[in-house]
Amino acid sequence: MSEGLRPSRPAASDCAFVTLVTNADFALGAAALLRSLRATGSGADLVVLHTGGVAASALAPLAARGARLIETDLLPMSPEFNARYARAALHGAAPFTKGNKPAFHTPLDNFVKLRLWQLDYQRVVFLDADTLVLRPIDKLFEYPEFCAAPNVYESLVDFRRLNSGVFTARPSARTFADMLDQLAAPDAFWRRTDQTFLESYFPQWHGLPVTYNMLQYVWFNLPDLWHWPDIHVLHYQYEKPWQQDHPKAAELAPLIALWNAFAGDGPLPEIASLPNPA
């Protein structure tokens, strides 16, 4: 295993679904994600990269759901880089105007995603901890590097930009080292952290259908795109379904109810029978 990674056990497969947990809130999301992946019948490894600040009590439910836990450090960047991407500094320079990021969102942590290029797997699919997998997606392991869905949630113009909540990758120490060099370029500013960086690093990225990373705002902004039988991955971008102070809870109530079903231990709903947007 590469420097900066401390796995709880050896790999059991050459393929893995990987998510990132940097605090107790995202551990809640990851538990629901893991259950959704297991419900698809996948035999791939389920991996949770987690930073050292996540308590053992928050990680225990993830291990209980079969995850291989890999503790990791933040990227070895300069103090100037770390200060530039601290929450207050980044959100001040590039504020969010379309929705709200919860208080537990820490932009600097986002770059830890790049450590999946250090993993001991041949092929990986990354999924943000605020996603649910509703249909089998193992075929993505056969897709090339780098595949991602467009960042569509407001208008069709957004098809030109990628969203880094779901993507395919091929771990490589050489790629990881090259990424660190480019990440620290003196004139670079990664407005949306890992997402902007990956879009720049893989300018010829391959587009997945939006149904492999269906952003929750499509529900009320582009309802004609929403068709439950086609949705493979649902992504709760911006507000999280477990937030107590969710400002869009009424608008997104069916999606929040779905997440709660996966977060619990009860029966799961039949996806095709769920209500469609108004």
What are the residue boundaries of the structural domains of the chain, listed by start?
5-273
Average pLDDT, consecutive stretches of 10 residues, N- to C-terminus, the chain (278 residues): 88 97 94 98 97 92 97 83 63 54 66 95 98 98 97 89 96 96 79 86 96 97 95 96 94 97 96 91
Quote the CA–CA distance of 278 and 275 in Å, as a whole number.
Answer: 9
- Tell me, what's the pLDDT at 90? 56
- Tell me, what's the pLDDT at 117? 97
Q: In terms of C-beta density within 10 A (0-12 exposed, 13-18 middle, 19 or more buried), how is residue 230 classed?
A: middle
Both structure tokens of 30: 């990851």
- Tell me, what's the pLDDT at 108? 79
- Tell me, what's the pLDDT at 156? 83
Q: What is the pTM of this model?
A: 0.91
Residue range 5-273 in CATH 3.40.1120.10: no
- Tell me, what's the pLDDT at 144? 97
Q: How many angstroms separate the Cα of 55 from the Cα of each of 18, 26, 87, 97, 209?
A: 19, 12, 21, 32, 36
- Tell me, what's the pLDDT at 212? 98
What's the distance, CA 46 to chain centroid?
A: 13
